[in-house]
Chain A
Amino acid sequence: MQPEQRHAIEELVYRSCLALDAQEYTAFLALCTPDFRYAITTYSPELRREQVWLDHDRAGMQTLFTNLPRHNSDHSPLTRHATVYTVDLSGDAEANVVSALQVFRTQLDGGATELFAVGHFHDMVRLGGDAPKLARRAVRLDTRQLGYGYHVPF
């Protein structure tokens, strides 16, 4: 893999975090392919089974983003910190990317920041064209206790 290609893939992951941090959902979806799919999964040691906590195609994500402002939500901003660990090419057209994810929540009143969740992004990135795009994002959460929670996907 050429360093430029790796750099472009890393930048895609980081731009996706920045877009969601800023709640710029149109910008986030612009980083995704038309057949984009997003999921949040976790393993429950209590049930000893896998769990799916969110699973949407691109249209479902678009609808979710449209609906979010209609709901009551905690307004404390989230900050997603990703570190791209591995990038594995799958043929010429795709790459599988694993990134560590830490999500921080900053209280509006006083600005105290707390670690909110940890996990990994398992992204499938489609190469070619002007820039790489997200075709799949599976957020694999280690954190399963989210307090009073959050509406916005990680």
Chain B
Amino acid sequence: MSETIAFELNGQPVRVAAEPGQRLLDLLRGPLRLTGTKEGCAEGECGACTVMVDDRPINSCLFPALEVDGREVVTIEGLRGPDNRLSAAQQAFADAAGTQCGFCSPGMVLTATALLNENTDPSDEQIRDALVGNLCRCTGYVQIVDSVRIAAEHLRGES
């Protein structure tokens, strides 16, 4: 039986029906029409479906939809400011070739954002530790790590 849940999605309240066993990923991509979150593997191995729940990055393919009741969820769409303004992490990924095919990019950007929310001066090792659950087949990760470093510099006001 479906239940009505209420939570904050990208800064705005939503009420929506969710079912036991439904994945948060499907709730977001289906009824909530947020297709920026990608399904890459459905088993928590690739990170393409990463969203933030209460500021922590999680794999929405493993996360039950019902469990976001009363919590805050941020998807890739929620990072963008008004008038299509990109967030610091999004802008850095766009500028510094952090994206190629782009399928892993929303998850990468969200994972990077969660890191940068806690630490605006991460070492490369800390960046890699944060991104280890996000697979990319195109970039070899080099310019993804660069992008996160550039976003951090930007957030610190150094660029």
Binding between chains A and B = no
